[in-house]
């Protein structure tokens, strides 16, 4: 995906938005850091083998409902998929990164 | 759809609310050649109905019957729609209504946005999606949901980290970080209040302990779990992702109860509980499904047969009242029930792994403070004339759907048509009188 550079007007507009929402506080930064860390940890765990929500929660010392919520986001945006069931729980597996199409195709 | 509307625009009628009642009223007015402006506070039209899985008693797919109405309204030459906009006040004088509307910033120029969602894919912060009743995840800039109309991205400033990624990938330079709220003043001759309903909280009765268990859920949450593009893609319980095996519906959990200030019947809970039970029986064939009820109110056309079909499918109907719900180990729930099944031993304890509380329907908007429309003692829009059920206390202002009181979709659509006819009749008579005078 081609990334554009922000124009001076866009940077100025971003500053206006940042100011209008009272800046990006420590709490928001911490929450974002935790979100990215949790997603990374779940992806790493599922790289080894598919797992259920309680298995993920136990391995990562995370409340089960939070693990389930992260999986909904990862599923929605194509990072994980369901891969069968283990007893009363669905198994979740990592979706392989899409390979770049070969040149000429 | 038109984003260029300003205070010079003068529709014949203005509809408050873009749910199924507002859309039906708008379509019925527009088909008579009248210009209509629909004002919707959310990011999409469609209201509660577009979030439902299926509807009773036909089990039609809700989005299959709602999206054609949404689309018809959005593309009608006589209808203009403002989303992300709220009616702040209405002043009525000399047969004209001056409506003050707040247009909230979306931070996206809708004329430029092509709904490609590249901004959404580029955004790397997610939060709990209100459309999915908090169970799913949505990004800080996103098209509101799969079948939303308009299909335009909206930025949530509360969750945005102002990283600028969205603007870097937007192919049409549609992102406008410096948008501000704007106020419009629109003059119109007739108004239809179709502002819909809210549901009271699942925590309104502390003895049901919804605050202590994620497995005590609201009926709208179950609708999303049952919807084909819901948050989990299937029915799982929210605490740990388990496929539930014993599901309970607790009826009258938020209405017909003086102690929580909702003495009236919400009129739809019996039927949606039966519908949801039937859908669960299809989705989870091994699950035990129990409905705890005081009495089943199946008063509409085909509703009694629907109830009988549910019984024949093996749904358990237990007449009684749930006194208390206690969360127990493993995320399950113990229900303390007084039943009428065994007169000698009316008190029972039963265990379920997911419980749905039938919440009460409450008004979605209180127009009494800022408009000439009065509300009744239950908080819904007052309709004092029995022979004119869509007329409010204010001349030229009509109402339809659940804004006027709890009702189901069938009754809402019938009433929306009636409100449109009442409004157009009012307009044509007013204009004839003006010409004659």
ipTM computed for the complex: 0.94
Which whole number is the average pLDDT over A69-79?
A: 97
Domain with CATH 3.30.70.20 in chain B: 105-180
CATH number for the A49-98 domain, one of 1.10.10.10, 3.40.50.12280, 3.90.180.10, 3.30.70.2740?
1.10.10.10
- Which pLDDT tens digit goes with each residue over B381-422? 999 999 999 999 999 999 999 999 999 999 999 999 999 999
**A68/B contact by beta carbon, under 8 A:** yes
* Distance between CA atoms of residues B230 and B121, nearest Å: 19
* Distance between CA atoms of residues B261 and B265, nearest Å: 12
Q: How many CB atoms lie within 10 A of CB B295?
A: 11
Which whole number is the average pLDDT over B33-37?
A: 98
Which whole number is the average pLDDT over B259-279?
A: 97
Domain with CATH 3.50.50.60 in chain B: 1-103+181-196+364-437, 200-361
pLDDT at A10 over 80: yes
**A25/B contact by beta carbon, under 8 A:** no
* Average pLDDT score, chain B: 96
- Which pLDDT tens digit goes with each residue over B365-378? 999 999 999 999 99
Angle between helix B409-436 and B20-30 (nearest 10): 40
Question: What are the structural domain ranges in chain A?
Answer: 49-98
Q: Is B333 helix (H, G, I), strand (E, B) or coil?
A: strand
Q: Is A76 helix (H, G, I), strand (E, B) or coil?
A: helix
Q: Who among B168, B177, B242 is closest to A3 (CB)?
A: B168
**A82/B contact by beta carbon, under 8 A:** yes
For residue B128, what are the β-bridge partners?
B137
Report the CATH number of the B105-180 domain.
3.30.70.20
Distance from CA of B236 to the nearest CA of A (A): 9
Token pair listed for B67? 């999206």
Identify the pLDDT of residue B3: 62
pLDDT at A102 over 60: no
**A54/B contact by beta carbon, under 8 A:** yes
Name chain B contacts of A79, Cβ cutoff 8 Å.
Answer: none
* Inter-chain touch A4–B169, beta carbons under 8 Å: yes
pLDDT at A100 over 80: no
Identify the pLDDT of residue B336: 98
* Average pLDDT score, chain A: 91
CATH number for the B1-103+181-196+364-437 domain, one of 3.50.50.60, 3.90.470.10, 3.30.565.10, 3.40.190.10?
3.50.50.60
* Inter-chain touch A90–B241, beta carbons under 8 Å: yes
Give kind and range of the element (H or E) at residue B324: strand B316-327
Give residue ranges of B with CB < 8 Å to any A CB.
107, 118, 121-122, 124-126, 128, 132, 135-137, 139, 157-158, 160-162, 164, 167-169, 175-178, 180, 214, 231-234, 236, 238-243, 245
Q: How confident is the model at residue A96 (pLDDT cuts 50, 70, 90)?
A: confident
Identify the pLDDT of residue A104: 40
Distance from CA of B229 to the nearest CA of A (A): 10
pLDDT at B34 over 90: yes
Q: How confident is the model at residue B2 (pLDDT cuts 50, 70, 90)?
A: low
Which whole number is the average pLDDT over B36-51?
A: 98
What percent of chain B lies above the pLDDT cut of 90? Answer: 95
Q: How confident is the model at residue A103 (pLDDT cuts 50, 70, 90)?
A: very low
pLDDT at B145 over 50: yes
- Which H, E and C letters describe B376-425, residue by residue? CCCCCECCCCCCCCCECCCCCEEECHHHCCCCCHHHHHHHHHHHHHHHHH
- Which pLDDT tens digit goes with each residue over B67-92? 999 999 999 999 999 999 999 999 99
Q: Which CATH superfamily is domain B200-361 in?
A: FAD/NAD(P)-binding domain (3.50.50.60)
Identify the pLDDT of residue A105: 39
Q: How confident is the model at residue B135 (pLDDT cuts 50, 70, 90)?
A: very high
Name chain B contacts of A29, Cβ cutoff 8 Å.
Answer: 161
Token pair listed for B39? 């004002």
Q: What is the DSSP string of B59-103?
A: TEEHHHHHHHHHHHHHH-TTEEEE-SEEEEEEEEETTEEEEEEEE
């Amino acid at each position: 995906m081609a990334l554009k550079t922000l124009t001076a007007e866009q940077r100025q507009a971003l500053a206006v938005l940042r100011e209008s929402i009272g800046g990006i506080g420590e709490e928001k930064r911490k929450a974002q850091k935790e979100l990215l860390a949790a997603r990374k940890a779940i992806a790493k765990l599922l790289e080894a083998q598919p797992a259920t929500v309680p298995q993920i929660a136990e391995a990562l010392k995370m409340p089960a409902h939070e693990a389930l919520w992260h999986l909904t986001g990862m599923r929605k945006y194509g990072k994980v998929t369901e891969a069968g069931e283990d007893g009363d729980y669905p198994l979740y597996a990592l979706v392989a990164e899409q390979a770049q199409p070969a040149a000429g195709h | 759809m038109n984003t260029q509307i300003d205070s010079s625009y003068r529709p014949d009628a203005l509809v408050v609310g873009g749910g199924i009642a507002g859309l039906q009223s708008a379509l019925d007015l527009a088909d008579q050649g009248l210009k209509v402006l629909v004002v919707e506070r959310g990011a999409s039209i469609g209201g509660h109905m577009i979030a439902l899985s299926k509807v009773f008693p036909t089990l039609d797919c809700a989005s299959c019957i709602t999206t054609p109405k949404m689309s018809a309204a959005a593309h009608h030459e006589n209808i203009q729609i403002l989303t992300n906009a709220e009616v702040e006040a209405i002043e009525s004088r000399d047969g004209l209504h001056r409506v003050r509307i707040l247009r909230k910033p979306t931070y996206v120029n809708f004329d430029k946005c092509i709904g490609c969602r590249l901004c959404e894919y580029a955004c790397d912060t997610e939060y709990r999606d209100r459309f999915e009743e908090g169970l799913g995840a949505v990004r800080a800039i996103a098209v509101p949901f799969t079948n939303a109309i308009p299909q335009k991205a909206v930025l949530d400033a509360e969750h945005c980290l102002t990283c600028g990624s969205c603007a870097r990938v937007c192919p049409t330079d549609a992102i406008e970080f410096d948008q501000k709220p704007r106020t419009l003043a629109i003059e119109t001759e007739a108004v239809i209040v179709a502002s819909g309903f809210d549901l009271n909280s699942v925590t309104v009765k502390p003895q049901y302990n919804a605050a202590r268990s994620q497995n005590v859920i609201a009926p709208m949450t179950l609708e999303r779990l049952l919807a084909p593009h819901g948050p989990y893609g299937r029915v799982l319980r929210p605490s740990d992702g388990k496929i539930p095996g014993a599901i309970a519906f607790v009826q009258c959990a938020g209405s017909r109860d003086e102690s929580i200030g909702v003495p009236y019947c919400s009129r739809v809970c019996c039927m949606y509980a039966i519908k949801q039970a039937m859908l669960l029986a299809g989705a989870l064939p091994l699950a035990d499904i129990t409905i705890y009820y005081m009495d089943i109110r199946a008063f509409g056309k085909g509703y009694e047969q629907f109830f009988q079909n549910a019984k024949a499918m093996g749904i358990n109907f237990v007449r009684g009242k749930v006194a208390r719900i206690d969360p127990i180990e493993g995320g399950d729930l113990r229900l303390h029930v007084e039943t009428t099944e065994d007169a000698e031993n009316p008190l029972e304890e039963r265990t379920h792994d997911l419980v749905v509380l039938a919440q009460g329907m409450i008004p979605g908007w209180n127009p009494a403070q800022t408009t000439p429309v009065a509300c009744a003692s239950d908080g819904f829009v007052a309709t004092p004339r029995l022979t004119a059920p869509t007329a409010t206390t204010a001349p030229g202002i009509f109402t339809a759907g659940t804004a006027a009181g709890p009702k189901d979709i069938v009754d809402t659509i019938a009433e929306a048509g009636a409100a449109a006819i009442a409004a157009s009749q009012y307009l044509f008579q007013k204009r004839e009188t003006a010409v004659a005078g």
